[in-house]
Amino acid sequence: MNSFNRQTLIAALDIGSSKVCCVIARVSRDRKITIAGFGYNASKGIKNGIVTDIRQATYSVCDAIESAEQMASERVERIIVNISGKDIKSRNRTAEISLNKTKPISDLEIKKVIEKGIYRINVENNELIHCLPMGYKIDHGEETIDPRNLFGENLSVDVLLGLVPDITYRNTKTVLDNSHLEIAEKVISPYASGLACLVDDEKELGATVIDIGGGTTSIASFKHGHPTYFGSLGVGGNNVTNDIAWGLLTSFAHAEHLKTLHGCAFLTTQDKNEMINVYPVGEEDDSSIKQVPKSELIHIISSRIEEIFEMVKDKFIEGGNAICTNRIVLTGGTSQLTGIRDVASMAFDRQVRLGRPRSIGNILDISSYPRFQDPSFSTVIGLLLFVLNYTEKKPNKIISKPLNNDGSRFNRIMNWIKQNF
C-alpha cells in the first residue's frame, strides 16, 4: 500500500542571495499540499546565488530550517533544494529508434528511446540537475506528449539537460551536509519558479519566466507543457542597490530603503520636480540629510534594469529556437519594482505580466499566507510542486565525472518518491 493512507511530509529549501527560506508541507492521498510551517531569514555567505562562506551559509540554512520545524512541530531530515548561480545552463539531446510498423507504440519503446537519449552523457565538470523528456515525434512529424498506441516507422525524443558547475553544487551540498540535511531532490531555480507562476496555457502555448532575484537573474522557457531552456546571469536586485549606494554616496542599507520607498524603473514628469532625502554614508542623524532629485535615483535604477534586460536578450539569442518569447513572465523579489513590467514590455516587445505563486490548485491554503503570494517566494513554492510533477529519468552513464555514491543515493530518492507519490 502507498503511504498516501497517511499524510506525507515534504520540505523545500530556497537558498538565495537575499534570503534563505524553508517551507514544510503535508501532502494528502489526493495530492493536495497543506503548508505546516515555514521559516526565512536574510542570507549570509551567499553571493550571486553561489556559496562564498560555508560557515555563514550554514547558519542561514539552519536558522530557516529550525524556524520552520518549530512552527510545524516536525523534524526535517531530507529536503528538496533549489540550485542557482550565474552559470546555470541547459543542453538538448535527441535520440531515435526504429519501430515495428505492425505494432502500436508501448511503454517499452518509450523507455527504450529515452534510455538511448540519456546514455553516456558528457557533463564536462558540471553537475547534472535535470534530465527532462521534452516531447516525442513519430516519423519526424508533429511533436506529441504521449505517443503510446500510435503507429510509425521511427520514434524520436528530445531531452533537456539542466546543468550547473560541479564546484557550485559541491559547495551547496557541503552547506547541507553541515546542516545534517539529505538532498531528496534538487531543482534549478527558474524551473521551480515557472511551476509556481505559469498557468497551464502559458506552459503549453509558450512562455519564458525571468526570475530577478537579489544576486542572479535566471531564465526558464516553457513550451508544449515542459521546459525547453535554462539560463542565468550574475546580476540582480542587489546590483541595483549597490549602484544606488555608489551613485548617491549612501550606505547599502539606506540604498535598499530608497529603492523600496522611491524606486521606479522609468522616469515620469512628476519625478523630475520631486526631491528625496538621502543620508550620506557614515552619517545617521537628521542634520546630515541631503536632498537629491528623485530623477537621479530613478536614472540609476533604470540604467541597471535596462542593462539586465539587454543581457537577458543576449541569452535569448544564445538559446535560439529553445527560447519561446510569446509571453514573458517576471517574478522574483526585484520584479516588484514599480514600472519594471513596462520597461520589460518595451525591451522585449512582448506582452509581460508579473508572476505570483497564487493560482495553484494543489496548495490548499496559500491564501492564508499572503507572504507566499509574493513573487520573491515563487521558487520555494515551485519546489513543493516539483515533487507532484516529477517526470525525470537519470542517465545510465555520465562521462568526465568521477564516480561517487550518487547512484545509490538516487535509488533511495526514487524509492522515496515512488512510496510517497
Domains in the chain (CATH in brackets) are 89-165 (3.30.1490.110), 200-356 (3.30.420.40)
H-helix or E-strand spanning residue 192 = helix 189-197
- pLDDT, mean of residues 248-275: 89
How does residue 1 score in pLDDT terms, banded at 50, 70 and 90?
very low
Task: Provide the pLDDT for residue 229.
Answer: 96
Extended beta strands in 151-252, E state: 154-165, 182-188, 207-212, 217-223, 226-233
Task: Provide the pLDDT for residue 412.
Answer: 44
User: How is residue 61 written as a grid cell?
Assistant: 540554512
How does residue 68 score in pLDDT terms, banded at 50, 70 and 90?
very high
With pLDDT > 70 as the criterion, what percentage of the chain qualifies?
Answer: 88
- pLDDT, mean of residues 270-297: 85
**What average pLDDT does the chain have?**
87
Cβ-based neighbour number of residue 412 at 10 Å:
13
How does residue 64 score in pLDDT terms, banded at 50, 70 and 90?
very high
- pLDDT, mean of residues 299-322: 94
Contacts by 1-8, CB closer than 8 A, 24 or more apart? 2/419, 2/420, 3/419, 3/420, 4/28, 4/29, 4/30, 4/31, 4/420, 5/29, 7/34, 8/420, 8/421
Residue 111 contacts by C-beta under 8 Å, 6 or more apart in sequence? none
SS3 for 211? strand
Report CA-CA distances (Å) from 54 to 44, 46, 150, 298, 404: 9, 9, 52, 36, 22
- Residue type present at position 214: G
The span from the CA of 398 to the CA of 34, in Å, is 37
Task: Provide the pLDDT for residue 304.
Answer: 97
